[in-house]
Amino acid sequence: MMGRKIAEAMSNKSSRQQSMVLKEDPFSLEVMAVPLPRDFKQPKMEKYDSSSNPIDHLRSFVDLKRLQATPDVIICRAFPPTLRRKARDWGKDELLKDFIVRFNRATLGIKDLQMFAVVTAMMSGTQSRPFKMSLSKNPPDTMHELLKRGEKYVDAEEAYLITKSMKNRSEPDSNKKKKDLGRARTSK
């Protein structure tokens, strides 16, 4: 009896932890559902710390995984652990618009850049969860398509920030009016 209760408690804890991890995961459930191959090995390469060209790091990683005939969805999932904390946390509060401009500039001079590598780098670098999910569910085929989709998410982010800013500005004013009304009533 006691063993069963402990097992139930442990399974509940495990479910809560799993749902927490899934909420923070940048990839869609479809991508996460693909099991790692039995022979999967993370490539032995230096972790990227943001002190050199990120595209070089991404290319090296993708090339190594292609040699192992690793499926694209596994390559996506295997890339983030190749980043050091500084590189993973860089730009945490960066607006999507700023990230896309910076990302586009970084990729302009690169010849023969594969769209898969571009999408993987974009998903790994952006902090916009809805944009990541969109790229994960339906990867764009061209850079133009990627930037057009990015524009839509930039517009949504800006609209959200404007609404949030207006709401924050109006709240103190409404509290002030309530206080002023209270004073007017008590002074009579």
pLDDT in tens, 118-133: 998 899 888 899 999 9
Q: What is the DSSP letter of 38?
A: T
- In a domain, residue 1? The reply is no
Parent domain of 38: 26-187
CB crowding 125-164: b at 16 or more within 10 Å, else e: bbbbeebbbbbbeebbeeeeebeebbeebbeebeeeeeee
- In a domain, residue 58? The reply is yes
- In a domain, residue 14? The reply is no
- In a domain, residue 120? The reply is yes
- In a domain, residue 10? The reply is no
Please report which confidence band the pLDDT of residue 53 belongs to, taking 50, 70 and 90 as the band edges: confident
Domain count across the chain: 1
Q: State the amino acid at position 75 in one-letter form.
A: I
- In a domain, residue 16? The reply is no
- In a domain, residue 7? The reply is no
User: Picking from 17-26, 37-46, 50-59, 91-100, which range would have the lowest pLDDT averaged per residue?
Assistant: 17-26
Decide if pLDDT at 22 tops 50.
no
- In a domain, residue 68? The reply is yes
* Nearest alpha carbon to residue 122 among 167, 158, 153: 153
